[in-house]
Amino acid sequence: MGDETGPPRGRFTFRPTALAGVWEVDRRFLSDERGTFGRLYCAREFHDAGAVTGPIVQMNLSRTTKIGTVRGLHFQRSPGRETKVVTCRTGEVWDVVVDLRQSSPTFLEWHATLLDGVGQTSLVVPPGCAQGFQTLTEDCELLYLHTAEFDPSLDAGVLATDPRLDLPWPLPISLMSERDQHLPRVAAALRGGRD
């Protein structure tokens, strides 16, 4: 895909990352004396760019109150594999995507993006990649758009502190859920042959 910035499409600029299918998407807001207005998502523009090809079927909102908290790294197994569009509405997070596609040339590589409620960037996470984040401020709120409904039986993840990934979390980790602390390391998570 390269790492060049693509041409603006409508109200969005789609920037491919080094991980195939992972996009940073910049929104362009209109401003006047009243404030701003802009789109968070447009199915046609995201489809035309190749960033999201399926319909959005679920929206979720997370709020994390404590700085330094890590959530993730989460994904859904087949047949519930999904594309996610992640947008920070309040606060600032270091959002990371790990490529778990065993056939991918960037298998086990990662990409991180700073997302915040002031900037106008979203992150597109394709099927087969795990996603998580660390809060860099108090009170962070993230909006997720999903191409598949959440299915608890397909819910999966990998340990965010797995030495094999060697993720450089920006802050000391102040909090992780009990579940996230006990997610499997990458090797164990992939033994089921998931791609």
Q: What positions carry a catalytic annotation?
A: 74, 144
Segment holding 61, helix H or strand E: strand 58-64
* DSSP-derived secondary structure letter, 117: S
Residue of 27, 23, 26, 89 whose CA lies nearest to 61: 89
Q: How far apart are CA 193 and CA 187, in angstroms?
A: 10
- Residue recorded with tokens 């099927």: 127
* DSSP-derived secondary structure letter, 9: B
Kindly report the number of other CB atoms within 10 A of residue 98's CB atom.
27
Tokens (6 digits) for 161? 């502190």
Segment holding 45, helix H or strand E: helix 43-49
SS3 category, 93: strand
